Structures are given as C-alpha cells and as structure tokens.
C-alpha cells in the first residue's frame, strides 16, 4: 500500500487548498478499478461527492479528483514507478476560465411577485441567463406559492442554520394533506455544486405550468404528455431545494469551490470550518466502529472535505432534512441532487449488495469492524431482491432519459462504487425502514448531474444540466409510480 500523507502535511494541504492554491481537476487513469484502492483510501484528497471510476473508450477506467499543486506533485511521486497509473491535470480549472455561468444579481422574482418558469414549456433553444442566488431561490418558492394558491405550499423548516438562516421547503400536487406525498427531492447540500437548486425549482415550475395549461413538457429530444405531468403531480412532490444556504452564500461570493456548511465549532479558519452534510446522517455514522479499519468512508478531521461532524445529525441542516420525513410520513421515493459525475447512484453505499444472507445487515453488531471492503467476501450489505430490482430499474430508466435529451453520457451504479460511504442521505433514507419501527420504506437515490469535477458549469452546460436533470426527474417519478408508491 502506498504511504498516505503524514497527518500534519495532510492538514496543511487541506488548508492550502482553500486559502492559497487553485484546486485543479485531475484525471487518474488505470487498467482496473482495483488500481485506485490506495489512492481513494487517502481522505486528504478531494474526490467530490464520492470517488467514482468511469470506464473509458480504450477499456480502462478514469477517476476524477480536485487537487492542489502540492497534492499533484505528491501523487506523481508516489506513483512514479507504477506505469499502469497515469495522472494528468486539465489545462485550466473552471474558476480560471471566463465562461462559467454567472450568479444572478438582485432578485429576478421580485420577492415572489413573479413565478419562475422552466425550459420544458419553452421553445427549443430557450436559455436561462444565470444561476439563482440564495435570495432568488427563496423568492422563487414564494413566487410559485403566490402563482398557484391551493396547489403549491411552502413552509419554513424548524432549525435555523449556524449563521441564522431559515431554510424553506415546499410541497405540491397532492393537496394540503401531507400524508399523501410520496416523492421527496432535495438539492444544494454541497455548496459548490452549482445549479442543483435551479434544476429542481425549474422542473416543479414546468409541472405546474403544464398542468395549468393542459400541455406536455419537452426537454431536448425527450417529451412527456400532459397525462404524465398530471400523474407525477398526483404522486405528491416534496422539495427542499437549498439544504445548505450558509455554504452556498459563501461559495457564490468566494468562488472557492466550498463544499461543507459553515459551522465553526470544530474549526475557525480555512478548510477546518464546516461539516460535510452528506456524511452527517444517522446511517453507520460512527464509521470507526462499523467499518473495517482499512477504509475511510468519512473523516474525523475538520480539515477534510468529508468531515462527518461531532455526532450523527449534529448539523441543523441535517436535522431539517430528516424532519421532512416526519411531516410527510408517506414518502416512498427520495432523490438527492448533486454534481458532478454524470451518474445515478442507488443504495447501498456502505458495501456491495447481496440478497441471500439477511444476517449481513447494517444493524447486526456481529459485523462491526468488517464492513466496507468491497473486494472481499467477509461482508456484503443485504438488500431484498425485490428492492434491488426496483431501485436498479428506476436508476436505469432515469439514466436512459437523461441520455435521450441530447446523447450526453450518464451511467447508473450502486452507491458504494470504488469505496464505501457512511452517513449519506440516500442510505439514510433507505435504512429508516429497518432502523425505525413503523416508518415507511423509502428508496434512496443520488443524482450526480453534469461532468466530472465540473462544479462551476459554463452557461451552456448549466442550461444542458437543466434539460438533462428535468427529463431525469420525470422518468424517475414515472418509474416510481409504475413500481409502486405505497
């Protein structure tokens, strides 16, 4: 196994990444996925939401990372004698180019007197000029509530953020009875993943507009009828478009590729600030207890991009996210919207799936300390075969629709991918059924839109992302309806 960075050097490089040096997209290529195991085990490196290896046209695999110059030099040195692994940085990062989509200024929705309007009801070639700022995300929700009284409902979530902001959620399609809502989508958990809230807001805007006018929706080469629009709305949609407002405010003002929230209790400067919200959910959160010591599904270091916090659900944003399940107990399907990898991920994320041995499950203490080694036979996470079939069907259908929009490639795969994760929102959603008596079973997914490590899209990419994701949301929802909402 290659040597990891010493602890002091690791912290120094993490701080450098946020304070002094540009984070550069890096492509690491190898003949097999197994070649990446040592690299991914080093949680001082930034692999985005999850380390995902994509197959290449020449039969190899490619892993994306965001690294500083010092980290790139270290990586070159560690693998200089291994000719099977190549490390190549892109010429320019997105923050060094002038083509990235701008952030909106002011409030295009005038405090809610104007409703947002998506691309699915517009002529082909119509574009949106800028990414929503945090104020506009909130006023967009108000605008929809004002434009569709009795059909679209907004509400404030119960926990204010570390910096004192109130988070807003909404629901639409199934009336005022919150027990009738089956679909839950969230976005904006990782601050730097620009466009996630926009994708969700514009899709719901399209549904409401098409339902009112009696029309269908068109996203590139993919179209949906008005009957399909009504079917999706009738399933009941809950949306939490901006999970991490503190982080997004900071990222949009600093252009620093900021990922975490802005909690300073564990650190007050540089990269030591903040918690990775997508490692903070109550699913095998204490990874040092539940996982093999040879894997690092999260990090205990505040300077890591994957810092898991001080306890499961320690963060207000995580508590807000979880509170939605209590308000809407009938939720059956969940999707968390992220970028940037071009994938649809489905449970489980802690180990490889298996449907033969129910005893191998995340609640069984017999397997504590053994989980997460994806290439072994000691432990694999149990999933009932019917559930495995259902979630793969939905993921594959979502990917097919996103490809059909404009032939941009997407893949579906199990969340565990190259390496396990703990405390993630999608696994938390699925785990609730077994961990909390009396709650509904929820199928959890993560959508990673866009291109690998391209967190700051160009304006063209931003608009393509809206089309891709909105078709994906439609197909995911329609498949959910087909599989079952109860």
Instruction: Say whether pLDDT at 6 is over 60.
Output: no
- Domain assignment present for residue 133? The answer is yes
Looking at the fold, whether 15 and 136 belong to one and the same domain comes out as no
Beta 381-382 vs 353-354: how paired, if at all? parallel
Looking at the fold, whether 81 and 196 belong to one and the same domain comes out as no
Looking at the fold, whether 186 and 296 belong to one and the same domain comes out as yes
| Per-residue pLDDT, 65 | 81
| Domain endpoint, select from 29, 61, 93 | 93
Give residue-wise pLDDT tens across range 76-92: 888 888 888 888 876 54
- Domain assignment present for residue 48? The answer is yes
| Per-residue pLDDT, 7 | 36
- Domain assignment present for residue 361? The answer is yes
| Domain endpoint, select from 31, 59, 93 | 93
| Per-residue pLDDT, 446 | 97
Q: What whole-number percentage of the chain has pLDDT above 90?
A: 75
What is the rounded average pLDDT of the residues 224-234? 98
Looking at the fold, whether 111 and 88 belong to one and the same domain comes out as no
What is the rounded average pLDDT of the residues 306-319? 97
| Domain endpoint, select from 93, 123, 157 | 93
pTM, full prediction: 0.90
Total domains in the fold of the chain: 2
CA–CA gap between residue 186 and residue 180 (Å, rounded):
18
Instruction: Say whether pLDDT at 405 is over 70.
Output: yes
Band the pLDDT of 21: cuts 50, 70, 90: low
Give residue-wise pLDDT tens across range 356-401: 999 999 999 999 999 999 889 999 999 999 999 999 999 999 999 9
Residue with tokens 């993630």: 424
Residue pair 387/309 in contact (Cβ under 8 Å)? The answer is: no
Looking at the fold, whether 108 and 207 belong to one and the same domain comes out as yes
Question: Picking from 46-60, 383-397, 433-447, which range would have the lowest pLDDT averaged per residue?
Answer: 46-60
Instruction: Say whether pLDDT at 51 is over 80.
Output: no
Q: What is the DSSP string of 203-221?
A: HHHHHHHHHHHT--EEETT
Which domain covers residue 36, as residue numbers?
A: 7-93
Residue pair 117/89 in contact (Cβ under 8 Å)? The answer is: no
Give residue-wise pLDDT tens across range 114-127: 999 999 999 999 99
- Domain assignment present for residue 209? The answer is yes
Catalytically annotated residue among 315, 448, 461, 475: 448
Looking at the fold, whether 285 and 421 belong to one and the same domain comes out as yes
Looking at the fold, whether 28 and 133 belong to one and the same domain comes out as no
- Domain assignment present for residue 2? The answer is no
Looking at the fold, whether 86 and 155 belong to one and the same domain comes out as no
Looking at the fold, whether 453 and 360 belong to one and the same domain comes out as yes
| Per-residue pLDDT, 57 | 78
- Domain assignment present for residue 481? The answer is yes
Stronger pLDDT, 203 or 43, i.e. the higher one: 203
Band the pLDDT of 98: cuts 50, 70, 90: low
Instruction: Say whether pLDDT at 239 is over 80.
Output: yes
Query: For the domain that residue 13 is a member of, what is the CATH number?
Result: 3.30.70.240
Please give the mean pLDDT across all residues of the chain. Answer: 91
Stronger pLDDT, 187 or 99, i.e. the higher one: 187
Looking at the fold, whether 245 and 367 belong to one and the same domain comes out as yes
- Domain assignment present for residue 33? The answer is yes
Residue pair 239/200 in contact (Cβ under 8 Å)? The answer is: yes
Stronger pLDDT, 237 or 70, i.e. the higher one: 237
As a three-state string, the secondary structure of the chain is CCCCCCHHHHHHHHHHHHHCCCCEEEEEEECCHHHHHHHHCCCCCECCCCCCEEECCCCCEEEEEEECHHHHHHHHHHCCCCCCCEEEECCCCHHHCCCECCECCCCCCHHHCCCCCCCCCCCCCCCCCCECCHHHHHHHHHHHHHHCCCCEEEEECCCCCCCCCCCEEEEECCCCCHHHCCEEEEECCCCCCCCHHHHHHHHHHHHHHHHHHCCCEEECCEEECHHHHHHHHHCCEEEECCCCHHHHHHHHHHCCCCCCCCCCCCCCCHHHCCCCHHHCCCCCCCHHHHECCCCCCCECCCCCCCECCCCCCCCHHHHHHHHHHHHCCCCCEEEEEEECCCEEEECCCCCCEECCCCCCCCCCHHHCCCECCCCCCCCCEECCHHHHHHHHHHHHHHHHHHHHHHCCCCEEEECCCCCCCCCCHHHHHHHHHHHCCCCCCCEEEEEEECCCCCCCCEHHHHHHHHHHHHHHHHHHHHHHHHHCCC
136 as an active site residue: the answer is no
Looking at the fold, whether 224 and 122 belong to one and the same domain comes out as yes
Instruction: Say whether pLDDT at 153 is over 90.
Output: yes
| Per-residue pLDDT, 90 | 65
- Domain assignment present for residue 1? The answer is no
Query: For the domain that residue 160 is a member of, what is the CATH number?
Result: 3.40.630.10
Residue pair 481/173 in contact (Cβ under 8 Å)? The answer is: no
Band the pLDDT of 349: cuts 50, 70, 90: very high
Instruction: Please report, for residues 335, 357, 413, the alpha-carbon distance to residue 451 in angstroms, rounded to integers and kept in the order given.
Output: 19, 37, 16
Looking at the fold, whether 84 and 121 belong to one and the same domain comes out as no
SS3 14: helix
């Amino acid at each position: 196994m290659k040597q990891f960075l010493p602890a002091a050097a690791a912290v120094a490089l993490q701080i450098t990444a946020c304070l002094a040096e540009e984070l550069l997209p890096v492509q690491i290529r190898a003949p097999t996925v197994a070649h990446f195991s040592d690299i991914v085990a080093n949680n001082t490196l930034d692999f985005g939401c999850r380390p995902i290896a994509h197959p290449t046209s020449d039969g190899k695999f490619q892993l994306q990372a965001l690294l500083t110059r010092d980290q790139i030099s270290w990586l070159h040195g560690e693998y200089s004698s291994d000719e099977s692994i190549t490390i190549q940085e892109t010429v320019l990062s997105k923050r060094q180019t002038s083509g990235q989509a701008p952030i909106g200024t002011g409030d295009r929705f005038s405090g809610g007197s104007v409703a947002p309007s998506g691309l699915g009801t517009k002529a082909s070639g119509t574009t949106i000029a800028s990414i929503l700022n945090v104020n506009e995300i909130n006023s967009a929700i108000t605008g929809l509530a004002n434009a569709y009284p009795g059909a679209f409902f907004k509400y404030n979530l119960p926990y204010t953020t570390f910096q004192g902001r109130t988070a807003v959620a909404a629901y639409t399609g199934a009336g005022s009875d919150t027990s009738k809502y089956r679909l839950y989508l969230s976005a904006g958990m990782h601050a730097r993943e620009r466009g996630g809230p926009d994708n969700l807001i514009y899709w719901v805007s399209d549904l409401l507009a098409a339902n009112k006018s009696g029309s269908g929706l068109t996203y590139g080469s993919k179209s949906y009828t008005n009957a399909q629009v009504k079917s999706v709305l009738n399933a009941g949609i809950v949306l939490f478009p901006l999970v991490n407002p503190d982080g997004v405010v900071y990222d949009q003002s600093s252009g620093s590729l900021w990922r975490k929230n802005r909690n300073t209790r564990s650190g007050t400067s540089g990269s030591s600030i903040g918690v990775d919200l997508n490692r903070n959910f109550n699913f095998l959160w204490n990874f040092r207890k539940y996982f093999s010591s040879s894997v690092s599904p999260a990090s205990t270091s505040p300077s890591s991009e994957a810092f898991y916090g001080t306890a499961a659900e320690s963060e207000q944003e995580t508590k807000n996210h979880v509170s939605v399940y209590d308000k809407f107990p009938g939720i059956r399907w969940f999707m968390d919207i992220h970028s940037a990898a071009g994938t649809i991920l489905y449970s489980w994320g802690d180990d490889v799936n298996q449907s033969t041995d129910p005893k191998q499950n995340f609640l069984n203490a017999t397997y504590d300390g053994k989980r997460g080694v994806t290439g072994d036979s000691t432990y694999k996470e149990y999933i009932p075969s019917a559930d495995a079939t259902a979630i793969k069907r939905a993921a594959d259908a979502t990917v097919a629709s996103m490809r059909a929009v404009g032939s941009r490639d997407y893949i579906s795969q199990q969340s565990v991918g190259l390496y396990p994760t703990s405390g993630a929102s999608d696994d938390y959603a699925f785990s609730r059924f077994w961990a909390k008596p009396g709650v509904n079973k929820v199928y959890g997914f993560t959508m990673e839109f866009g291109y690998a490590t391209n967190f700051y899209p160009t304006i063209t990419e931003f608009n393509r992302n809206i089309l891709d994701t909105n078709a994906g949301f439609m197909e995911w929802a329609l498949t959910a309806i087909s599989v079952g909402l109860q």
